[in-house]
Amino acid sequence: MNFQSGELAICETCGTQYDVPLSSPPTSCRICDDPRQYVPASGQTWTSLSQSLQQNTFETDPSDPRIHYISTKPLTPAELPASLASSTSTRKQLGIGQRAILLETQHGNVLWDLVAFIDQETVDFVKSKGGLKAIIISHPHFYTTHLEWARIFACPVYISASDSTWLNRTDTNSVRRWITGTQAIPEVNGAVTAIQCGGHFDGSLVLLWEKKLFIADTMMSVPSGFYHKDRLPGTVSFSFQWSYPNLIPLPPSKIHGIWKAIKPFEFDTTYGAFPGQNVTRPDLKAQVLESMKIFCRVGGHENAAVYEETL
CA 81 centroid distance within chain: 22
Q: Which CATH number fits domain 8-308: 3.40.50.2020, 3.40.50.1980, 3.40.50.2300, 3.60.15.10?
A: 3.60.15.10
* Over residues 4-8, mean pLDDT: 94
Residue type, 105: T
Tell which wins on pLDDT, 129 or 89.
Answer: 129
How far lies 201's CA from each of 44, 243, 308, in Å? 23, 10, 24
Instruction: State the Cα–Cα distance between residues 11 and 183, nearest whole angstrom.
Output: 31
Q: Is it the case that residue 16 has pLDDT exceeding 60?
A: yes
pLDDT digits (tens, 9 = 90+) for 295-304: 999 999 999 9
pLDDT of residue 19: 98
Distance CA 46, CA 42 (A): 12
Q: What is the DSSP string of the chain?
A: ---TTTTEEEETTT--EEEEETTS--SS-HHHHSTTS---TT---EE-TTT--EEEEEEE-SS-TTEEEEEEEESS--SS-TTTS-TTSTTSPSSS---EEEEEETTEEEEES--S---HHHHHHHHHTT--SEEE--SGGG-TTHHHHHHHHT--EEEEGGGGGG--S--TT--EEEE-SEEE-GGGTTSEEEEE--SSSTT-EEEEETTEEEEETTSEE-GGGS--TTPPTT--SEE-EEETTTTEEPPHHHHHHHHHHHTTS--SEEEESSTT-EEE-TTHHHHHHHHHHHHHHHTT-TT-GGGG---
Question: Residue 88's pLDDT band (boundaries 50, 70, 90)?
Answer: very low
Checking if the pLDDT of 82 tops 90, the result is no
Q: Are 70 and 56 in contact (CB under 8 A)?
A: yes
pLDDT digits (tens, 9 = 90+) for 185-194: 999 999 999 9
- 0.85 surpassed by pTM: yes
Write the pLDDT tens digit of every residue in 21-46: 999 999 999 999 999 999 999 899 99
Is 50 exceeded by the pLDDT of residue 122? yes
Domain edges within the chain: 8-308
- Listed residue (195, 202, 247, 253) closest to 220, CA to CA: 247
How far is CA 304 from each of CA 13, 25, 253, rounded to the nearest angstrom?
Answer: 35, 45, 7
Residues near 72 by Cβ (< 8 Å), separated by ≥ 6? 54, 55, 56, 57, 93, 94, 95, 97, 115, 116, 117
246-260 mean pLDDT: 99
